[in-house]
A = this chain, B = another copy of it.
């Protein structure tokens, strides 16, 4: 029987997913319908149409339209913003369709577990890159160590969406936006960071996150700094790491990124809680001056260096100057939060050029204990994008969703209910296909135990 796949949300992250699905339609007797709020986006994403695929527009807040769209669907891939998944999930239950997403599993989604099971449905969440490939590669390593009689004593895991060295040019940050710029600007905000080091709980206040980094080398890709995620303890139970002495999850950037970014935080430019009026009358330079003490004689540059204690010859200042913090360019909008203004400034220099190639790097460090002996495994993965339309980010987010879709619709009967891809039924086939067909390969290295 022909099976109907509905993809809702046709943003950048579906760049690789749609071609993947299209390439399988004939073979597996699937139809694909790509829906987006904006019809042109859906059509552009789908590209060439044939009798097995179509594009359409859908406003998911319109419950009747949503129900109509899901009529006859076997599986829905939801790529809408995270807070919109729930209504789609409920419609999936009503229409008995499986659901696959790359977003964080919420308590509201988890509450649908029983209903999903009763209807024989798989609701797979966090099946993109981070969360997604990080879970799968970590779970595979952890299960391997445990199967071998080992006990886990240390777990660190880092992922970064960066720029290929080939595309860095003279960019002193060695970074561009390869994902939602707003999320990058707001990163590190919210509650305190919590993790465990050698059995001791550790806390970092949000405004100090960019000052507490650790460095690491990832073979083949060079040196990086790791910044703590807010949620290091979040997967403690899911990963079975209740007794681990060190548990740390984080984000990778090139060394020096965090210290320079900390300047934005200290100035208050990442604040999204209040609105500055008349931004259209402000230059980037005047925007910067809003956060510095009044003095009619000193330059904005000197006031900033003095306030933040940045030495004259520091690369931090070079980075701030390079992004245009002191430029006379103006904002096109009439009002905005500091974070929105900063995002606009950064977009001028951090938007990928057509030929730019991005880079995804993932790094796990796992310590184990077996028969009284300690050991350590480092596992690393790097993928480069081809250009700004075929990014490594879109491949690593989208392909796991595509492969999961294939597993649900064609493979062995999968365990049903609300879940993450941390069991072998998911991680083996998905990681294998990613490695064999798409070059997403993890390199593992045994090391003597060094602790945190």
Contacts and interface: CB of A to CB of B under 8 A. Distances in A.
Nearest to A194: B274
B191 A290 contact: no
A311 to B, nearest CB: 14
Contacts of A192: 268, 271, 273-274, 338
A200 interface: yes
A291 B191 CA distance: 14
Nearest to A269: B205
Contact of A289 (B200, B204, B266, B292): B200
Contact of A202 (B191, B293, B452): B293
A266 B452 contact: no
Contact of A207 (B202, B207, B273, B274): B207
A203 interface: yes
A338 B202 CA distance: 12
A291 B198 contact: no
Looking at A207, A274, A289, the one whose CB has the most chain B CB atoms below 10 A away is A207
A197 to B, nearest CB: 4
Contact of A203 (B191, B200, B205, B291): B291
Contacts of A291: 202-205
A212 interface: yes
How many copies of the chain does the oligomer comprise? 2
B198 A266 contact: no
A203 B289 contact: no
B276 A201 contact: yes
Interface residues of A, number: 31
B293 A200 contact: no
A414 interface: no
B293 A212 contact: yes
Interface in A256-305: 265-268, 271, 273-274, 276, 289-294, 296
A424 interface: no
Interface of A: 191-192, 194, 197-198, 200-205, 207-208, 212, 265-268, 271, 273-274, 276, 289-294, 296, 338, 452
28 contacts: A191-B271, A191-B274, A192-B271, A192-B273, A194-B274, A197-B294, A198-B294, A198-B296, A201-B276, A201-B290, A202-B290, A202-B291, A202-B294, A203-B268, A203-B274, A203-B290, A203-B291, A203-B338, A204-B268, A205-B207, A205-B265, A205-B266, A205-B267, A205-B271, A207-B207, A208-B266, A212-B293, A294-B452
